[in-house]
Amino acid sequence: MDSFAIITLVFFIFVAFMLFFGAFIIVRQGYCALVTRLGSYSQTLSPGLHIIIPFIDSVDRTVDLREQVFALASQSVITKDNVNIHVDAVVYYQIINPYSAIYEISNLVYAIEQLALTSLRNIIGEMALDDTLSSRDTINTKLQLIIDAAASKWGVKTNRIELKDINPPADIQRAMNVQMEAERNKRAAILNAEGRKESEILKAEGDKQALIRRAEGQAQKVRLEVEAEAITAKSYIEHIKSAGATKEVLQLMYMNTLEKIADGKANKIFLPTESITALGGLAAAGELFNTKMSPPAVEA
C-alpha cells in the first residue's frame, strides 16, 4: 500500500470519527449556538457550519434570535379612581445578547412577564379610568421604557408592548355606553342644525344674486329703450331740418317729440348731447317766432 492510499484512509477515518462524535455543528439561520469547553462558556456560533473538538467542546444551548411574542394573562388592575379593570397585553421582544439571556437569568420569559405585570399595575394605578381608556399609546410607551431599562442586563430588547383589551366592570360599561350614545345623538343634532343653517344661507345668497341680476337686467333694458328713443328723435329732427321745414313746423315737432319722450315708462330721460343741442335750437327758434307773431302791446 502506497503513501497516498494511507493518507486517504487516515483522512476518511478522521472524518468518520468527527461525524460520529458530533464534531461538525450546523447552526440554522436565525439561531446561534453557545459552546462550552469543559463546562465553561467558550464561544457563540453564528449560523453556518462549524467544527468543535469532540469530548472537550459541546453545544450547551441553541438560542432563537428572532423576534418573539408572548401574551400577558388578563390581570385585574385598580385605577387611580378605584375602578377595578381587567387588562390584556402582548409583549414583543428579541434576544440581542445570547450569553446574558442564558447565563444571567434562569427563566427569561417568566422574568419579563412578571416585570411587565408589575409595571402595568404601577402605571395604570396612577391614571384615572378615562385616561386609561384614551391613553393606550402612552401606557405602551411607558411600559416599554420600564421593561427595557430592567431587561437590558438580560440581553433582551423589547420592541413594543400592546394593550389588547381594557375591560371595565359591567355597570360602568353600561354607563359608558349610555354616555357615548348621548354624545353621538348630540353630534348628529349639531351636524343637522349646521346643515340646515348652511342650506338657508346658500338659498338666501342665491335669492339675493337673482334679485341683483334681475334689477341689472331691468336697468339695462330701460337704458337701451331711452337711448333708442333719443336716437330716433335725433334722426327725425335731422330729417325735418334737411327737408327745409319752417320754424313753425319745427317748433310743433319739438313739442310733440318732448311729449312722446315724457310719456315713456322710464322715470329718467337720457338724451345724447347732439339731440339736446338740436332740440334747444328748435326751442329758441320757436320762441323767436312767437315773439315776432305776437301783436304789439297797446298803451292805455
Which residues, other chains included, contact 280 with Cβ-Cβ below 8 Å and sequence gap of 6+?
none
Which residues, other chains included, contact 123 with Cβ-Cβ below 8 Å and sequence gap of 6+?
139, 142, 143, 146
Strands 24-27 and 57-64: unpaired
Q: What is the pLDDT of residues 153-212, one digit of tens each?
A: 899 998 888 888 888 877 776 766 677 777 878 888 888 888 888 888 888 888 888 888
Beta carbons of 119 and 105 less than 8 angstroms apart: no
**Which run of H or of E encompasses 87?**
strand 84-95
Q: What's the pLDDT score for residue 19?
A: 59
Cα separation, 206 vs 231, whole angstroms: 37
**pLDDT over 60 at 239, yes or no:** yes
CA dihedral 270, 272, 278, 283 (to 10 degrees): 20
**What are 31's three cell numbers?**
439561531
Cα separation, 91 vs 73, whole angstroms: 11
Q: What's the pLDDT score for residue 13?
A: 67
Question: In the chain, what percentage of residues exceed pLDDT 90?
Answer: 16
Average pLDDT taken over every residue of the chain: 77
The domains found in the chain, sorted by start residue, are 3-63 (no CATH), 68-168 (3.30.479.30), 218-293 (no CATH)
Q: What is the pLDDT of residues 13-37, one digit of tens each?
A: 666 666 555 677 889 999 999 999 8
Task: Name the pTM for this structure.
Answer: 0.53
Beta carbons of 91 and 108 less than 8 angstroms apart: no
Q: What's the pLDDT score for residue 56?
A: 84
Q: What is the pLDDT of residues 71-81, one digit of tens each?
A: 888 888 888 88
